[in-house]
Amino acid sequence: MTNKTIWFVGAIMAFSWPAMADDIPDRAELLKPAPNPAWNNFGAGRPITQEIAPGLYTFSGSARTIFMVTKDGVIATDPATPKDAKAMREEIRKVTDKPVKYVVYSHNHWDHVSGGQIFKDEGAKFISHEKCVQHFKDKPNPEIVMPDITFPKNYTLKLGGRSLELIYLGPNHGDCLVFMRPDSENGKYLFAVDIATPGGAPLTFMAGYDPANWLRTLKELEAMNFSVMIPGHGVPLADKSSITERRKYLEALMAAVKKANDEGMPGDQIPEKVRVPEFAYLRGYELNVRDNVRRMQAYYGIGE
């Protein structure tokens, strides 16, 4: 990559912005705690690769992923779609001539894990949590490569003197989501897909989320030893407080819906009347809050 602007913050390491990326806030702005207006200013569009720590890169296409370069090859994650995977492969080639040895799936949802065939054809092995396999069998998609390696709890992938820790916290967004902690800067970073989108409200009906276990997981992530989140959508980096922001939004939403239920508000009025105005600043709030409320109605109405 050429014409990079290098930003130095904290420890001496590089966060490299590509040319023509003037619409992307700098690292210092992105790492300010929630609520952070810079998280609303990220300009998505053409595929972009950024080095966020030595040998650790984030790639953004239709979703965000990461890859690690080691002396013995590359560890890639979530190939998203065939188009995204092809673009990511081209970006990897700009960084290194080493082959992609492993591809790690964050979870089973097609928007993150389709498109891996280009890496399989080059000899990569695929890794996922064991519970993802049944989803791939029950809802087959010809563009998804079945995993070669699965694990029941946690797993540490090692390659070329580097490691990627895969952390399973049980059901939350589906039942096979794993969080990935690269060895960079003593575990400072956590790749956390779909559990929270910094500065944004959850999408519509929050399909695939178990509210109680989602909250539990967010609290467990808050207690973990990392300081920077790499999300599966949106900004390249965010302060760990983005996890807390999502947890507080869910707690407020659930409390407001439960209160309306307990006070006997008619069910058809709850989506129109229940709001959490203290979170109106979140990106997508007005568009999604009614469906967010409806999702919690289902939780309190049928326990699902």
Q: Which string of DSSP letters, residue by residue, matches 34-78?
A: SS-GGGG-----S-EEEEEETTEEEEESSSEEEEEEETTEEEEE-
Pairing of strands 125-129, 149-151: parallel
* Range 111-128 average pLDDT: 98
**Is the Cβ–Cβ distance between 55 and 92 less than 8 Å?**
no
pLDDT at 10 over 60: no
Instruction: Note the pLDDT of residue 15.
Output: 40
Instruction: Note the pLDDT of residue 89.
Output: 98
Backbone angles phi, psi at 52, to 5 degrees: -105, -15
Pairing of strands 73-77, 238-239: unpaired
* Range 269-293 average pLDDT: 98
pLDDT in tens, 248-268: 999 999 999 999 999 999 999
Instruction: Note the pLDDT of residue 219.
Output: 98
Q: What mean pLDDT, rounded, does the chain reach?
A: 92
**Is the Cβ–Cβ distance between 53 and 184 less than 8 Å?**
yes
Q: How far apart are CA 141 and CA 159, in angstroms?
A: 29
Question: Which residue did the predictor score with more confidence, 192 or 43?
Answer: 192
pLDDT at 181 over 60: yes
Instruction: Note the pLDDT of residue 47.
Output: 77
* Range 228-232 average pLDDT: 97
Q: 10-14, 83-87, 229-233, 240-244: lowest mean pLDDT where?
A: 10-14
Which tokens go with 292? 């967010």
Residue 78 pLDDT level (bands cut at 50, 70, 90): very high
**Is the Cβ–Cβ distance between 199 and 242 less than 8 Å?**
yes
pLDDT at 97 over 50: yes
pLDDT in tens, 134-165: 999 999 999 999 999 999 999 999 999 999 99
* Range 198-205 average pLDDT: 96
For the chain, domains (ranges, CATH) are: 5-302 (3.60.15.10)
pLDDT at 14 over 80: no
